[in-house]
Structure 1
Amino acid sequence: MHGLHLTADLHDCRCAMQWLIDAKALGAVCRKAAATAGLNPVGELFQSFPATAQGPGGVTATVLLAESHLCVHTWPELRAATLDVYVCNVGANHSPAAHALMDCLISLFEPQRSELNALQRGALTPDDKPTAFAPHAP
C-alpha cells in the first residue's frame, strides 16, 4: 500500500467558468491529463450538481486509475476547487506522474491562492515508516 497522496485546495480560480460547472468537459480534461501524465484511466464518474441560491451547481469528476485515483470537486459560487491525486507505488514509482497530473490541473484552474499537501502513504517494508513531506515545487 505504499503510495503518494497529493491534495490541493484552490481558491479564487480565474479559469473559464466551464471548468467549474461542466462535468463532461472537466471529466474529459481529467481523463486526458491523467493519460498524458503516464497514468492509466480504467473508470470514471462525472457528476453535476443543481444550482442553488448562491449560483450554478458544481461538479465532481472522478477518474479511477490503474494506479489509484483522481478526484476533483468544484464550487463555482466560490470560484474554488479541490484536487485529490493518489498513486500506489508498489511495483513502480508513479510519483512523478502524480505530480505532473496535479501541476496540469492546477494550471487549468488558475488559482490566485492554493494550499498544496503531499503525504507519503504506507511503507515498503515493515521497517519503513510513512512520512509527511513538502509538496512538489514547480
Structure 2
Amino acid sequence: MDGLHLTADLHRCRCDPQWLLDANALGQACLAAVANCGLHSVGQLFHTFPASAQGPGGVTATVLLAESHLCVHTWPERAAVTLDVYVCNFSADHSERARALQQALLALFQPERQQLQEWQRGQSLHAAPAPALAPLVFSPVPA
C-alpha cells in the first residue's frame, strides 16, 4: 500500500452560502472537481444535517474514488469546512491529482485561514519488500 492523505481545516470561508448548506450543490461541485483533476468517481453520498439551536445544519459530501476517497464536512454556523482527500498510489502516482483536487476545493470555499496537512501513507512502491520470515522447523524432541 502507498498513498497520499491530505487534510484541510478551513476557517471563515467567504464562499457562496450554498456550498456550506446545500448537500446536492456541494456534491455536484465535488464531482466536477474530481473529474477535472483526472480522478474517477465510483460512488457518492451527499447528506444535509438538520438545523439546531446552534444554527443551520451543515452538509457532508463523500465521493468514493477509484483511487480512494474525498470527504467534505461543513459547519455553516462557523463558516468552517474540513476536507479529507486520500489517494492510493498502487498502480500510478495520483499525488498531484490529489493536490489539484484540494486546491480546487480551497478555491471554492475561499477560507481566510486554512490549516493543511499531508501524510505519505503505507510503503513506497520503490521500497525493498519486507524480508521473508524464516520457516519454522519442528524437530522431534529426543525421548
Give TM-score, length-normalised by structure 2. 0.87
How far 1:93 sits from its partner (Å)?
0.5
The corresponding residue for 2:33 is 33
Does residue 77 (structure 1) correspond to residue 77 (structure 2)? The answer is: yes
3-state SS in 1 of match to 2:30: helix
3-state SS in 1 of match to 2:15: coil
Does residue 105 (structure 1) correspond to residue 100 (structure 2)? The answer is: no
Alpha-carbon deviations, 1:1-32, whole Å to 9, x = none? 20000000000000011000100000000011
For 2:118, the aligned partner's letter is A
Does residue 15 (structure 1) correspond to residue 12 (structure 2)? The answer is: no
Instruction: Tell me, in whole angstroms, the C-alpha distance in 2 between the residues paired with 1:60 and 1:91.
Output: 29
Instruction: Tell me, in whole angstroms, the C-alpha distance in 2 between the residues paired with 1:6 and 1:33.
Output: 15
User: Mind listing any 5+ residue stretches in structure 1 that lack a counterpart?
Assistant: 129-138
The corresponding residue for 2:90 is 90
Instruction: Tell me, in whole angstroms, the C-alpha distance in 2 between the residues paired with 1:71 and 1:126.
Output: 32
For 1:45, the aligned partner's letter is L
Deviating runs (4+, > 3 A) in structure 1? 125-128
Instruction: Tell me, in whole angstroms, the C-alpha distance in 2 between the residues paired with 1:12 and 1:127.
Output: 45
Bigger-Rg structure (1/2) = 2
The corresponding residue for 1:58 is 58
How far 1:56 sits from its partner (Å)?
0.7
The corresponding residue for 1:117 is 117
User: Mind listing any 5+ residue stretches in structure 2 that lack a counterpart?
Assistant: 131-143
For 1:68, the aligned partner's letter is S
Instruction: Tell me, in whole angstroms, the C-alpha distance in 1 between the residues paired with 2:86 and 2:94.
Output: 9
RMSD: 1.2
3-state SS in 1 of match to 2:52: coil
Instruction: Tell me, in whole angstroms, the C-alpha distance in 1 between the residues paired with 2:32 and 2:108.
Output: 12
Instruction: Tell me, in whole angstroms, the C-alpha distance in 1 between the residues paired with 2:111 and 2:128.
Output: 40
How far 1:55 sits from its partner (Å)?
1.2
How far 1:111 sits from its partner (Å)?
0.2
Instruction: Tell me, in whole angstroms, the C-alpha distance in 2 between the residues paired with 1:53 and 1:2.
Output: 43
How far 1:120 sits from its partner (Å)?
0.2
Give TM-score, length-normalised by structure 1. 0.90
Instruction: Tell me, in whole angstroms, the C-alpha distance in 1 between the residues paired with 2:52 and 2:78.
Output: 12
